[in-house]
Amino acid sequence: MAVATFVDETIKYPLKLIEKTKVSPDSYVFRFELPSAKHIHGLKPHQHVRLHANVNGEEISRKMTPISDNEIYGYMDLLIKVYDKTDQYPDGGLFTQHLDTLKIGEDLIMSGPVHKLYYEGEGQFAGRKVKHLAGRKFKNIILIGGGTGITPLWQILAHSLKYDKEDINVWLLFANRTPKDVLMKKELDALAAAYPRFHVWYTVSTPDEGWPYSVGYITKEMIATHLPKPSDDTITIVVGPPPMKREAVFPALEALGFKDELIVR
């Protein structure tokens, strides 16, 4: 019988790093061992875990979403982008740089579940962010993501495709800097090929030669072309960098007539 790991956010677990795999120029899948071979992570789609660490003498934490299925026993995978120091951000991402130094066999403290939104299945969502939508079932789920914002969206779409009935359709519009930065593209394309009710489209700021998808920031035209029209049985969930959401996505959705109450920010 499965034992859920993250059921009380006040309980902290030291979880051991057992594997680290590079999946893009600056992103890795960190595999952590759960308390026993009988344990699953126990999170609902879009719920997070909180990672805790002492960095330069300061206790800090960050929220992350597993990409591994809740039916996997004994371990949990986290897809994490390491933000190095740059001229624009001289400190970079202190927490992710700390994670990058974690050695195989070392522990990281985690707690959870953390959530303001989670997917219950069959087009229904719950949590503080969507109290006003309690009990409503959506036939169209639009997911708009940027960068590592794909991780919570992945949990929703993977769960929906695996468990929901055929009348639930899922669209993903995924923005990144370059084609090499498109995390989980192989997995996303495989799902799109296997499930006709899943539609994915990409856009990058700097394309390679022959890039077959969109180029540039997400626009009104891009949304109108590759996503369904707004309706009362369509919910839109946006996860990504604040400038992308504030300057591109939300103005475009508003211009196209998407209702604010049906957009999860």
- DSSP-derived secondary structure for 199-228: EEEEEESSPPTT--SEESS--HHHHHHHSP
| Average confidence (pLDDT) over 27-44 | 98
**Fold type of domain 3-114:** Elongation Factor Tu (Ef-tu); domain 3 (2.40.30)
Question: How confident is the model at residue 168, as a pLDDT?
Answer: 97
| In contact, 17 and 31? CB cutoff 8 Å | yes
Residues pairing with 21 in the sheet: 29
Residues pairing with 145 in the sheet: 174, 239
| Tokens describing residue 230 | 């707004």
Cα 81 → chain centroid:
12
Average pLDDT for the chain: 95
d(CA 45, CA 185): 19
Q: Which residues contact 93 (CB under 8 A, 6 or more apart)?
A: 81, 82, 83, 84
Specify the higher pLDDT residue, 177 or 85.
Answer: 177
Would the annotation count 79 as a binding residue?
yes
On the question of pLDDT at 89 being above 70, the answer is no
Residues pairing with 237 in the sheet: 143, 264
Question: Range with the lowest mean pLDDT among 44-58, 76-90, 119-133, 231-245?
Answer: 76-90
d(CA 150, CA 148): 5
Predicted confidence (pLDDT) per residue in 170-226, tens digit: 999 999 999 999 999 999 999 999 999 999 999 999 999 999 999 999 999 999 999
Of the pLDDT bands very low, low, confident and very high (cuts 50, 70, 90), residue 56 is confident
Question: How confident is the model at residue 190, as a pLDDT?
Answer: 98
Residue ranges of the chain assigned to CATH 3.40.50.80: 118-264
Could you tell me what percent of the chain has a pLDDT over 70? 97
Predicted confidence (pLDDT) per residue in 126-138, tens digit: 999 999 999 999 9
Reading phi first (left if > 0) and then psi (alpha if -120 to 50, else beta), residue 67 is in: alpha
Would the annotation count 34 as a binding residue?
no
Of the pLDDT bands very low, low, confident and very high (cuts 50, 70, 90), residue 86 is low
| In contact, 202 and 212? CB cutoff 8 Å | no
Of the pLDDT bands very low, low, confident and very high (cuts 50, 70, 90), residue 87 is low
On the question of pLDDT at 85 being above 90, the answer is no
Question: How confident is the model at residue 115, as a pLDDT?
Answer: 87
CATH architecture designation of domain 118-264: 3-Layer(aba) Sandwich (3.40)
Would the annotation count 62 as a binding residue?
yes
Question: How confident is the model at residue 91, as a pLDDT?
Answer: 54
CB hemisphere CA count around 24 (13 angstroms): 20
CB atoms within 10 A of CB 174: 25
Would the annotation count 81 as a binding residue?
yes
Question: How confident is the model at residue 93, as a pLDDT?
Answer: 83
